[in-house]
Chains A and B, each alone.
Chain A
Amino acid sequence: MVSDQLICTLNASYEQFQLSANFTVREGELACLIGPSGCGKSTTLQLIAGLLPLEEGTITLGGIDLSKLEVHQRQIAMVFQAYALFPHMDVGQNIAYPLKLRKVARSEQQERVDQLLKLVSLSGYEKRRVDELSGGEQQRIALARALASDPQLLLLDEPLSALDAKLRKHLREEIRRIHDETGITTIYVTHDQEEALSIADRIIVMRDGQVVQSGTPEEIYHAPASLFVATFIGEGNTIDTNAVENDPENDSVLFFRPEQVTAHRGDSSFEREFLPHYLFDDAFLESCEFQGGRYRLRARWKEWNISCYSDHRPKGRRVTLSVRKKDTLIFPRTNE
């Protein structure tokens, strides 16, 4: 269904950076736009919505270039970080606002409002005033209102960053569920990579105004395209390659995830590692945190920090760690 894809080629220049973002989102996908602060992800959303002028480029949705259209003509709904609910209207009027614009009949408006409130699990809230709502409730009403406009594309600009951790976890699942029920193509901006990994169908990583990688969460996590993506998503360990391979000419960096490291038991029941591996022996154990189901170890080997997990608390302050070569990635050194 190529024709219903969203294809963006965006070029715009700003004081801080040059924005040059090209990416594609398939119909019905929930794509997460992720990157460090100031990388241009919110700017990208605003460009797509038309709230910022696009210098050069196209925004093609369903085969039509939207870049020439005014904001209110694009049928792209957006949920803002600060929710942006209209304070002089109650919840029902807020949600009905796009319906009124589209001259939907009163009775149908009421029905639709009820439907949407049910979808976001806030039935019965029609008459509430905006200032009576909690952050999480405002968020969901903003989402309901956006959905009321029956958009082709839904943009969410860091919708959960103003909420506390527990609520964030709960609401991101809600957002995923609502997305699945409505099937609307969605772009979700966040700086929280854990959020992105857990709910996205596709992750688009941005840096300094450029898209550096686009793929499924698994692809991004297991096959990052660069050291930046590798260290940005999830946790990782980096070691100069020439420290483990005796090759002083080698200027690359070794990267591997903590869960791929094995912490050896200090006793003789150690099982030899048969596959090719790197051994970090006699590392100094800096800390050991009990996390309930396992221990998280931070060790120092030569001048490198390695973090990993273990099912046991190591005795003494020295540990031996190893990682299979096939679980490591090699990246050229970049100037960070």
Chain B
Amino acid sequence: MRKIRIPQKRGFYYMLALPALLVLLLFFVLPLLITLSAAFTDGRGAFSLATIIKTFTNPYTLRIMRFTLVQAALSTLASVIIALPGAYLLSSYSFRFKRLILALTAVPFVIPSILVVLGFVIFFGNNGFLNLFLMRIFGFSEPPLKILYSFGAIILAHTFYNFPIIMNLVASYAMHLDTTLEAASYTLGASKVRTFFSVTLPRLVPAIVSAATLVFLFCFSSFAIILVLGGGPKYTTMEVEIYRQARMMGNTAAAAALSLFSILVTGLLLVAYNKSQRRLAQGELYRDEQRAQNRKPASLVGRLLALLYTFITLLFVLAPIISVVVRSALSPAGFSLKWYRQLLALELAGSHMGSALPALLNSLVIATVVAIVATSLGTGLSASIARRTRSKTLLEWLGMLSMTVSSVIIGLGYFLISSQFRVGQSLSYLLVVIAHLVIAIPFTLRAILPAYRKIPLSYAHSARTLGSSAPKAFFSVELPLLKSAMASAAIFAFALSMGEFNATLTLSSATIVTLPIVMYRLIGSYNYQGACALGTILIIVSALVFLVTARPKGTRHGI
């Protein structure tokens, strides 16, 4: 039966999208176009493909491209290899620390990259806790693990950051799969091992591919990790090179040309990821309750795995974070809250540390503004997408668009614009806010849209028939139902902004201070303890987000 389209009176909802649309068009699309256009001009401003050709035929560029892809591929591979036995463990057995491990695997979703870098340096560095511990135990005179500032460090840091993600995504998918197929396989004569390889693993492949695509995307766009742990021109990736060309070499045209490549790759990866997610959604019998996992690992293998993965997850996920907190209270003389006192300007501090308090305050203010505005825009956009009858996919796509572009490139856009004009300090901060906003909107959209879709249109309709206007119906009936989704979105946007490093660094001048920027400078000047004090604050913020958002996932596929 053909569905008759009745023209709906949805004017109000259409209008709700306008603020977000305006922001996105004005502050994302426009700067992006300006940035990319810089790639198509020669020195005198005329259209030319010379810059692009020059950039991409340069062997240096090609080496960087290759390195970027190779490190991302290796990191992804390593993450998958480490994650898979863990995912198998989590989905098949129940053991003592299972809940803890599962919870910990969600940590990388909320931790800012600058914190990853710091934790890594503090824990795995030459004078880090791991080496000190090993030296103490085995009596070495030299730190045995010299991994920092090398290719290995990059891969290791990426793996540390990403394998829990794969474990989480694959295990949550696996835990909801119907176990009857395995039972059927047993009754047909296949052993447990055979069943795993013939029946379970093929069904997990789509989830593994999806998670790996996401991780590859993260590793490809990785910035802070490369910047700090890469340690030099030998280990530069695309994003770092874009930053370098724009900020240090003043070669904006080259930076823009490189951005083209970056956007192409990240765009393709996101399309691939979305496709893979949709495949998972169409997949097979999906049970909403988790299958009862009452099997204690009876075999030696199972028990060993459980022990191993408890250890690995704790080591890789928790240890660096704890190290940061511990180190923040250490001075050469032992336990000391000196850095916190300096942070809070209770004590006189060195140059970078002196800007710590203003940085903290700036970050808090910026994050609050971003949280409020991004949530509002995201809510309006969600309402419009959910209630529209036409062009809803276009709108949704537009809302998610800023995810296809790396934060460095977003920052680059603002840098280009601000360098054209004399931009005062307050305007610079405004640009930071806008950059964070643009980055945050897709995430708030992602948090609120599903919740909004669950609200039946009949609620607003009843309110209208009872006498309220469309806006009133929206605010009094629908909005209250979105409270928890909006709170999640706001907290997530807040944490995103607090920890945002890539765009902020790219667009800011030396006078701008936010928490991650000062952390970066402190690391650069080897004031690790100070950086840790700041890092601890970030950890607290991340922990808050984690507690609020990492509840038992109602969504199928993780994020």
Residues of A bordering B, CB below 8 Å: 49-51, 70-78, 80, 82, 84-88, 97-98, 101-102, 142, 145-146, 148-149, 155
Contacts and interface: CB of A to CB of B under 8 A. Distances in A.
B62 interface: no
B284 A51 contact: no
Residue among B180, B185, B188, B199 with max Cβ neighbours from chain A (10 Å): B188
Nearest to B180: A84
Given A82-B285, A87-B203, A88-B203, A101 B190 contact: yes
Nearest to B206: A88
A218 B192 CA distance: 43
Interface in B193-233: 194, 198-199, 202-203
A130 B454 CA distance: 31
Interface in B279-336: 283-285
A76 B284 contact: no
A87 B284 contact: yes
Contacts of A75: 189
B465 interface: no
A135 to B, nearest CB: 13
7 contacts: A50-B186, A70-B191, A71-B186, A84-B183, A87-B284, A97-B185, A102-B189
A129 to B, nearest CB: 12
A49 B283 CA distance: 28
Main secondary structure of the interface of B (DSSP, over half): helix
Contacts of B187: 49, 51, 71-72, 74, 76-78, 146, 149, 155
Given A82-B178, A86-B181, A77 B188 contact: yes
B183 A149 contact: no
B203 A101 contact: no
Contacts of A98: 188-189
Contacts of A72: 186-192
A71 B189 CA distance: 7
Nearest to B187: A78
Residue among B183, B189, B199 with max Cβ neighbours from chain A (10 Å): B189
B192 to A, nearest CB: 8
Contacts of B199: 86
Contacts of B203: 87-88
Contacts of A80: 180, 183-184
Given A86-B199, A88-B203, A145 B284 contact: no
Nearest to B282: A131
B48 to A, nearest CB: 52
A78 B191 contact: no
Contacts of B186: 49-51, 70-72
A84 B189 contact: no
A101 B199 CA distance: 13
Contacts of B192: 72
A50 B191 CA distance: 13
Interface in B150-190: 178, 180-181, 183-190
> Top 6 A-B pairs ranked by shortest CB distance?
A84-B184, A71-B186, A98-B188, A78-B187, A84-B180, A88-B202
A93 B474 CA distance: 54
A77 B285 CA distance: 22
Contacts of B191: 70, 72
A101 B187 CA distance: 12
Nearest to A76: B187
Nearest to A97: B188
Nearest to A82: B180
A148 B187 CA distance: 12
B194 A101 contact: yes
Interface in B112-163: none
A82 to B, nearest CB: 6
A142 B190 CA distance: 16
Contacts of B184: 78, 80, 84, 86, 142, 145
A192 to B, nearest CB: 21
Contacts of B285: 82
A109 B202 CA distance: 22
Contacts of A84: 178, 180-181, 183-184
Contacts of A148: 188
Nearest to A151: B187
A11 B181 CA distance: 26
A164 to B, nearest CB: 20
Contact of A149 (B178, B189, B198, B284): B189
